[in-house]
Amino acid sequence: MKLGSHVSMAGKGLLSAAQEAHSYGANTFMVYTGAPQNTIRKKIEDLYIEEGKAYMQEHGISEIIVHAPYIINLASPEKRTFKLAVDFLTREIERTEAIGSKHIILHPGSHVKTGEDVGLARIIEGLNEVIYKEQKVKITLELMAGKGTELNYDFNHTAAIFNGVIHGDKLAVCFDTCHVHDAGYDIINNFDGVLEEFDKIVGLDRLEVFHINGSLNPRGARKDRHANIGAGLDNPKGLDHIGYDALHYIVNHEFVKDKPCILETPWIDKNTNLYKEEIAMLKAEKSK
C-alpha cells in the first residue's frame, strides 16, 4: 500500500517534506511547490532536492505527488486568466520534473457560466498549449465535486478532455473520494461498480492517483468539504458521511493498493492534524 498525506515544503524544501511524511508513517506524500493561492516560488536550486531524495531512499518513501496551485483555471473565458494558467502550469511542470515526481495534480477548471461544453473546450485548448511530446510528467486531472461551475465532476467530462488532447498519453486521473462522493457516485456501497463505470467511459488505465478524504456532506451534495476519516458527531470538524469502512475498503482494494493514496483531511487546528492516526487506521487489517 502506498499511503501518505499532503506535507509542506516550507523550510528545507523536499527534505522537510520527506521528514514530515516519515513522521506520519507514510511511504508516499504530496506537496505544493509553493503556496497554492499564488505564483511565488523558490528557485529550484533552493529546494533541497538531492537531500530530500536521499532521505526518501533511506526511509522507504518511494513516490512524490505534486499538486498544481488553485489559481490555475484552464476553463476561464478571460484571456489574462487563461494565459496565466497556461504559463504557470508550464513552469510548474518543470518544477515537478526537477523534484522527481511523475504526476502533477490539476483541478481542470471552472467555466464561469460560459457553459460546460465551452469550458471543456477551453481546458482542451489550454492542455494542448502546455503539453509537449517529450514531457515526462503526467498532468493528472482531479475528479471534482461539481461545486459552482467547476468541471470534471462527471466521468464524461474526463473522457471528453482525453479525447480532445493531442498527447493524451501525458494525462492521467486522480480519484478524490470526497469529490466523487459529493458528485453523486456511490463509493460507499458500490465502489467496484463506480470503477466499472469509470472503466467503460474513460478507462482504468488512466486512473493513477487517489486522494483519500471523508466528506462532510451526503452523496450528491456537490459541496467539496473534506472530513476526517471516520469522524463522529463529537469531532469538531463534523461527521464523515463516507465512513471508515468504505475508505478502508478503497485503500485496500486490489486495484488501488499499488497507487499513491494521499490524505487531505482537515487539520484540527493550525498546529494539529490526524494524518499519523488516520494512516495507521487505514493500514489496520480489519475495520473498527
Distance of CA 72 to the CA centre of its chain: 14
103 is in an annotated binding site: no
Cβ contact 209:174 at 8 Å: yes
Distance CA 29, CA 264 (A): 10
C-alpha closest to that of 240 among 198, 282, 276, 208: 282
Q: Of 155, 47, 55, 158, which is closest to residue 92 (Cα–Cα)?
A: 47
Please indicate if the annotation marks 63 as binding a ligand.
Answer: no
- Nearest partner of 206 among 165, 248, 249, judged by Cα: 165
Is 241 among the annotated ligand-binding positions? no
With vertex at residue 265, the alpha carbon angle to CA 262 and CA 266, rounded to the nearest 5 degrees, is 150
Give the distance between the most distant pair of CA atoms in the chain.
Answer: 52
254 is in an annotated binding site: no
**What nine digits make up the cell of 143?**
475528479
Q: Is 269 annotated as a binding residue?
A: no
- Measured between alpha carbons, how far apart are the two ends of the chain, in Å? 19
Q: In terms of C-beta density within 10 A (0-12 exposed, 13-18 middle, 19 or more buried), how is residue 287 classed?
A: middle
The annotation status of 176 as a binding-site residue, yes or no, is yes
Residue 211 is labelled as binding a ligand: yes
Judge whether 67 is annotated as a binding position: yes
Cell numbers that stand for 8 in this block: 509542506
Q: How far apart are CA 95 and CA 99, in angstroms?
A: 6
Q: Is 45 among the annotated ligand-binding positions?
A: no
Contact 170, 161 (CB under 8 A): no
Whether the CA torsion 115, 116, 117, 119 is positive or negative: it is positive
Helix (H) or strand (E) holding 82: helix 79-99
Binding region: 67, 107, 142, 176, 179, 211, 224, 226, 264
Binding region for Zn(2+): 67, 107, 142, 176, 179, 211, 224, 226, 264
